[in-house]
Amino acid sequence: MALLITDECISCGACLPECPNEAIFETRSDAEGKGHHVGDGQGVGDNIYIITHDRCTECVGHFDEPQCAAVCPVDNCCISDPAYPETTDVLMEKAKTLNPDKAIDKSKIWSGVRN
Q: Domains along the chain?
A: 1-99 (3.30.70.20)
Longest dimension (CA), the chain: 38
Report the alpha-carbon distance of residue 33 to residue 31 in Å, rounded: 5
As a whole-number percent, the residues of the chain with pLDDT over 90 amount to: 74
The DSSP secondary-structure symbol of 17 reads G
- What's this model's pTM, rounded to 2 decimal places? 0.91
pLDDT at 37: 85
Q: Which helix H or strand E contains 80, and what residues bound it?
A: strand 78-80
Question: pLDDT tier at 113 (50, 70, 90 boundaries)?
Answer: confident
| Dihedral pair phi/psi, residue 72, rounded to 5° | -70, 130
pLDDT at 24: 96
Q: Is the pLDDT of residue 39 over 90?
A: no
pLDDT at 12: 94
Report the alpha-carbon distance of residue 73 to residue 23 in Å, rounded: 19
